[in-house]
């Protein structure tokens, strides 16, 4: 069986791209494939599923963005992955966003069932929204707290964003139009793994990261409040093929055990432990699972 986790259950989930996949092997001809979104640590869901189902998971990485993950899921190349509700609603279902997280979740669950015969299970407990990030000293000097605060400074600011944020329907175009932002030049297209270093090195002045990124606090950066509520909710939810549930019925209970187990604050801490403090991701995951009795 192939499972895709989004932002999917690695620890740090990037909403912009899928980062890892895994195969769960139960026999030579039975395997569960899991996909994890970018970053660290990536082993929480895999470890939990293995522990609760007795199935071995072999993880893979760098499979592409949401639409590629969705295509792989529909083709049977993956059985399960973790997606963000706002991304599923706007990028996959092509529906208009809403600020109500329960409404978005229900629309996604119904839409995936009716259109794709996929099951959306309970949220994992954390939201990973876009974070518009600036340097801490700039935020203090210019009194930047809300996104609206950068409007008068934008003409002198250099922006750096990932490709998907620039192209997706809930991304740069609508965000910049709503806030009336005009930057010094067209935003630089950047690798998501390099955006914070580029910001610290003053190669850019604002980047689009993820709200659960551990490096934001570690590097003394500031995430601006989305005071006009542009972004929809991005709650992390597992999405699974129904034939996979039929083949591996023990997965339903294992996924239920993960429901609402990881808060956004815990996710940021876990990411910080790996990305900032350079701790081994497997050790961080083991400690977290033990603390949650997973």
CA gap 55, 26 in Å, rounded: 5
68 token code pair: 């590629």
CA gap 239, 123 in Å, rounded: 10
Q: Output helix, strand, coil percentages for the chain, rounded to the nearest 5.
A: 40, 25, 35
pLDDT band at residue 58 using 50, 70 and 90 as cut-offs: low
CA gap 147, 229 in Å, rounded: 10
pLDDT band at residue 101 using 50, 70 and 90 as cut-offs: very high
Residue of 2 and 218 predicted with greater confidence:
218
Mean pLDDT in residue range 189-206: 95
Instruction: Render pLDDT for 103-138 as a digit per residue (tens, 0 to 9).
Output: 999 999 999 999 999 999 999 999 999 999 999 999
CA gap 236, 6 in Å, rounded: 7
**Average confidence score pLDDT of the chain:** 83
Q: How large is the angle between the packed helices 281-292 and 44-53, nearest 10 degrees?
A: 60
Instruction: Render pLDDT for 142-185 as a digit per residue (tens, 0 to 9).
Output: 999 999 999 999 999 999 999 989 988 889 999 999 999 999 99
pLDDT score of 92: 94
CA gap 38, 35 in Å, rounded: 10
3-state secondary structure 206-260: EEEEECCCCHHHHCCEEEEECCCCCCCCCEEEEEEEHHHHHHCCHHHHHHHHHCC
pLDDT score of 64: 66
pLDDT score of 278: 81
What is the phi-psi region of residue 229: left when phi exceeds 0, alpha when psi lies from -120 to 50, beta otherwise? left
What sections of the chain are H helices per DSSP? 44-53, 66-75, 85-87, 101-116, 136-142, 163-167, 172-179, 195-200, 215-218, 242-247, 250-258, 264-275, 281-292
Instruction: Render pLDDT for 4-49 as a digit per residue (tens, 0 to 9).
Output: 443 333 333 444 444 334 344 333 334 445 444 444 444 455 566 7
pLDDT score of 173: 95
pTM for the structure as a whole: 0.80
Q: Note whether 270 and 284 are within 8 A (CB).
A: yes
Q: How large is the angle between the packed helices 281-292 and 264-275, nearest 10 degrees?
A: 150
104 token code pair: 């978005």
pLDDT score of 244: 87
């Amino acid at each position: 069986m192939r499972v895709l986790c989004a932002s999917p259950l690695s620890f740090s989930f990037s909403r912009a791209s899928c980062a890892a996949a895994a195969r769960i092997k139960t026999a030579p001809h039975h395997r569960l494939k899991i996909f994890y979104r970018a970053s660290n640590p990536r082993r929480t869901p895999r470890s939990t599923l293995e522990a609760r189902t007795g199935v071995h998971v072999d993880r893979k990485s760098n499979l592409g963005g949401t639409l590629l993950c969705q295509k792989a899921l529909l083709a049977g190349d993956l059985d399960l992955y973790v997606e963000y509700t706002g991304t599923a609603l706007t990028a996959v279902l092509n529906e208009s966003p809403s600020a109500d997280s329960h409404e978005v979740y229900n629309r996604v669950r119904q839409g995936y069932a009716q259109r794709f015969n996929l099951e959306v299970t309970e949220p994992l407990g954390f939201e990973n929204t876009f974070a518009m990030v600036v340097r801490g000293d700039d935020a203090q000097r210019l009194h930047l707290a809300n996104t609206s605060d950068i409007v008068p400074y934008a003409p002198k600011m250099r922006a750096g964003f990932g490709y998907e944020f620039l192209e997706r329907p809930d991304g740069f175009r609508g965000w910049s139009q709503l806030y009336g932002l005009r930057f010094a030049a067209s935003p630089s297209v950047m690798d998501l793994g390099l955006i914070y270093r580029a910001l610290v090195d003053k190669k850019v002045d604002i980047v689009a990261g993820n709200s659960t990124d551990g490096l934001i606090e570690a590097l003394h950066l500031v995430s601006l409040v989305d005071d006009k509520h542009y972004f929809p909710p991005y709650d992390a939810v597992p999405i699974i093929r129904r034939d996979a549930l039929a083949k591996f019925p023990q997965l339903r209970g294992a996924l239920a055990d993960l429901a609402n187990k990881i808060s956004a604050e815990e996710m940021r801490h876990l990411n910080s432990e790996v990305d900032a403090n350079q701790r081994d991701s497997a050790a961080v995951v083991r400690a977290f699972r033990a603390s949650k009795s997973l």
